[in-house]
Amino acid sequence: MPTLDFLLTSNPILSESPRWDEEFGAEVIFWGVVRGTEDGEPIAGIDYTVYPRMAEKSLCELGEEAGRIFCSHRAQLIHRTGLVHAAQPSVVLRVGCSRSREAFEISRWYLDKLKSVVPIWKRVVPKTTHHEPS
């Protein structure tokens, strides 16, 4: 069974009740939500661009690497593509393993690698102000 299951999708990420795995005693769920500002300026959202085959290859390699580095665990990653409006989730990561300390450590590792290795690019979409004609 793979260590990491992932989905790159243009669909909104919906909140679900967790389905617990009796093999693991700890589960960490991280929600990354688009902030309404970037560098102090209001934004409409973030437009995520991905080269799917490259990103999928990177994510498979991350799952294999994590399997070698960390204790037995399972991770699920969902990352949005396209325009994600402010206050909407752009990424969700779930990590389950036997101990809480390891679950947090593994989660941090996946998030750091996601940002530094996986070819997902973001473009901030500024909030436009519309003026009514006088």
Amino acid identity of 44? A
Instruction: Give the domain ranges of the chain.
Output: 4-11+23-125
What pLDDT does 22 receive? Answer: 78
Is residue 13 within 8 Å of residue 89, measured between CB atoms? yes
Residue 77: other Cβ atoms inside 10 A: 22
- In tens, the pLDDT along 8-38 reads 999 999 877 667 777 888 999 999 999 999 9
From CA 120, how far away is CA 61, in angstroms rounded?
Answer: 15
One CATH from 3.30.390.50, 3.40.50.20, 3.90.1170.40, 3.40.50.12710 for 4-11+23-125? 3.90.1170.40
Along the chain (134 residues), what's the average pLDDT of each consecutive run of 10 residues? 86 79 87 95 97 96 96 94 96 95 97 97 87 51
Residue 100: other Cβ atoms inside 10 A: 12
pTM of the model: 0.88
